[in-house]
Chains A and B, each alone.
Chain A
Amino acid sequence: MQRGTIRIWYLVHKLSSLISTAFLLMLCITGLPLIFEHEIEDLTGDAYVMPPVTDEDTRVSLDTVLANALASRPGEVGLFMSFDEDRPVVNVTSGPTPDAPGEQMTLMSLDWRTGEFVPAPDEGDVMGFLLQLHTDMFLGLKGLLFLGFMGLLFFIAIVSGVVLYAPFMTKIDFGTVRASRSARVKWLDYHNLLGIVTVMWASVVGLTGVINTLSDPLTSYWQYDQLAEMTAAYDGAHAPDQLASIQGAIDAAKAKAPGMQVQFVAFPGGSFSTEHHYAVFMQGNTPLTKKLLTPALIDAEDGSFTDMRTMPWYMQALLLSQPLHFGDYGGFPMKILWAILDIFTIIVLASGLYLWLAKGRKGIQTRVREIESGGRLDGDIRQAAE
């Protein structure tokens, strides 16, 4: 590789890393406990045991569940209804208006067998704080998009790092760790080894994180693009005065999608539906098809089926980016591996920062020759080599 080429890639690697390292360290460190969010909640929270009933398979009408939930929130309307996977629990989200923002929403959980309240999932204070910091640093959409940009810089740093790996390793066997040499050479070797083995994982987790930050804009675009098209016949239709039965809407959707489960229902007027429809989001049975939701639109005035179509590619990319970022789709061993790879990435980030801080007053020429020589320009041999 030409010296000029190395110089350019070195500058790309240095700049993209320097800007993003502090934020990436924050993301990797807050992300570590978040991998085990469910396990930590199970350990620290008071696990609620569903009371036994005579007929475990009995289900009350979802209209009853909704009415019970809304009776506890006078003046509010339903926004979402969702279903727990591992227990007969229906979650109802309510708010003062159909388009209420997240902070005005109330989440309630009810027993599907009896229609009685059960304790709502309680996001612990610490985990909630970490999640918010990890997602948007308490800055809303601006914070989300900023962290998305940092993720993009992280990916540029990975690519430029792979390019620089080639000249550095020309005379060094894979995996060599020269721990008996100077601290600088030792950390260069750690940085290169852990960086190169985590390339694929870090790229995928980084880029899916970037896609996740685009969740709100993508959903808005989908609503404008596809939902509007699916409901063109309803242009200008007013919101119904009286909502049709939610149980009827779900039954109508299920009849059109045999073998699929309902994951959640978005009520009319919110960002996942139209003014005039329930959007019933159906899911399949494998981890993949579970994530690739298919919305069925049900007329919220008369309960009739309007349309159903699979999500466009950008929404599928968004839905698939969630598991690939969280690492929650392959059981506990996958979480352990996710954590180890995250720690490797922390070491790569920290050693990169150290290598930059400890570079002394050496200019870019020295850095380029250090890369070309695989770190041999360090310390006692520098003079000899020069």
Chain B
Amino acid sequence: MTETKAPARRQTAAQIFAIPALLALLSLVGLVSALMGDGVRDFLSWLGLAAPVIVALWALKARRR
């Protein structure tokens, strides 16, 4: 192996999908919340839909190899 990193542990499906599932849930809350009312529900909606955006931007910066 010419990989520089040590052979990585194998992740289980639960580990692989933990963050994606959380982001999907937050996105769903974001999509539904603003439908149910205005004001604080709009705000909750922005938080939910911002979650995948923020995580992606974080990964592009912090997890760059």
Question: Is B11 a contact partner of A337 (Cβ separation < 8 A)?
Answer: no
Given A337-B46, A340-B53: A174 in contact with B3 (beta carbons within 8 A): no
The contact string, 1 if C-beta is below 8 Å from chain A, for chain B 13-49, is 1001111100111011011011111100010011001
For the complex, give the distance between the alpha carbons of A323 and B13 in Å: 34
Given A200-B23, A341-B53: A331 in contact with B42 (beta carbons within 8 A): yes
Question: Is A172 a contact partner of B53 (Cβ separation < 8 A)?
Answer: no
B9, chain A: closest CB distance, angstroms: 7
The majority secondary structure among interface residues of chain B is helix
Question: Is B42 a contact partner of A337 (Cβ separation < 8 A)?
Answer: no
Interface size class of B (residues with CB under 8 A): 35 or more
Question: Is B64 a contact partner of A330 (Cβ separation < 8 A)?
Answer: no
The majority secondary structure among interface residues of chain A is helix
Number of A-B contacts (CB under 8 A): 130
Question: Is B37 a contact partner of A287 (Cβ separation < 8 A)?
Answer: yes
Contacts of A199 in B (CB 8 A): 20, 23-24, 27
For the complex, give the distance between the alpha carbons of A335 and B19 in Å: 24
A306, chain B: closest CB distance, angstroms: 31
Task: Kindly identify, within residues 87 to 121 of chain A, every residue whose CB is under 8 Å from any CB belonging to chain B.
Answer: none
Question: Is A177 a contact partner of B20 (Cβ separation < 8 A)?
Answer: no
A8 within 8 A of B: no
For the complex, give the distance between the alpha carbons of A179 and B19 in Å: 21
Contacts of B53 in A (CB 8 A): 197, 337, 340-341, 344
Interface size class of A (residues with CB under 8 A): 35 or more
Question: Is A169 a contact partner of B11 (Cβ separation < 8 A)?
Answer: yes
Question: Is B52 a contact partner of A197 (Cβ separation < 8 A)?
Answer: yes
Contacts of B45 in A (CB 8 A): 330, 334
Which residue of chain B lies nearest to A168 when distances are taken between CB atoms in the complex?
A: B16
Question: Is B55 a contact partner of A175 (Cβ separation < 8 A)?
Answer: yes
Question: Is A170 a contact partner of B16 (Cβ separation < 8 A)?
Answer: yes
Contacts of B2 in A (CB 8 A): 380-381, 384
Which residue of chain B lies nearest to A167 when distances are taken between CB atoms in the complex?
A: B16
Which residue of chain B lies nearest to A337 when distances are taken between CB atoms in the complex?
A: B49
Output the residue of A170, A344, A376, A385 with the most chain B CB within 10 A.
A170
The contact string, 1 if C-beta is below 8 Å from chain B, for chain A 70-85, is 0000000000000000
B1, chain A: closest CB distance, angstroms: 6
Output the residue of B9, B49, B60 with the most chain A CB within 10 A.
B49
For the complex, give the distance between the alpha carbons of A191 and B64 in Å: 14
The contact string, 1 if C-beta is below 8 Å from chain A, for chain B 49-64, is 1101101101110111
Contacts of B37 in A (CB 8 A): 286-288
Question: Is A176 a contact partner of B36 (Cβ separation < 8 A)?
Answer: no
Task: Kindly identify, within residues 170 to 203 of chain A, every residue whose CB is under 8 Å from any CB belonging to chain B.
Answer: 170-181, 193-194, 196-201
Question: Is B42 a contact partner of A177 (Cβ separation < 8 A)?
Answer: no
For the complex, give the distance between the alpha carbons of A183 and B31 in Å: 34
For the complex, give the distance between the alpha carbons of A166 and B64 in Å: 20
A-B contact pairs, 23 of them (CB 8 A): A166-B16, A170-B16, A172-B8, A173-B63, A175-B19, A175-B55, A196-B20, A197-B52, A197-B55, A197-B56, A199-B24, A200-B27, A286-B38, A287-B36, A288-B36, A329-B35, A330-B33, A331-B42, A331-B46, A334-B45, A337-B53, A341-B49, A384-B1
Residues of B within 8 A of A (CB): 1-3, 7-11, 13, 16-20, 23-25, 27-28, 30-31, 33-38, 42, 45-46, 49-50, 52-53, 55-56, 58-60, 62-65
Residues of A within 8 A of B (CB): 162, 165-166, 169-181, 193-194, 196-201, 204, 286-288, 291, 320, 323-324, 329-331, 333-334, 337-338, 340-341, 344, 376, 380-381, 384-385
| Those 4 A-B pairs whose CB atoms lie nearest each other, nearest first | A175-B59, A330-B34, A200-B27, A197-B52
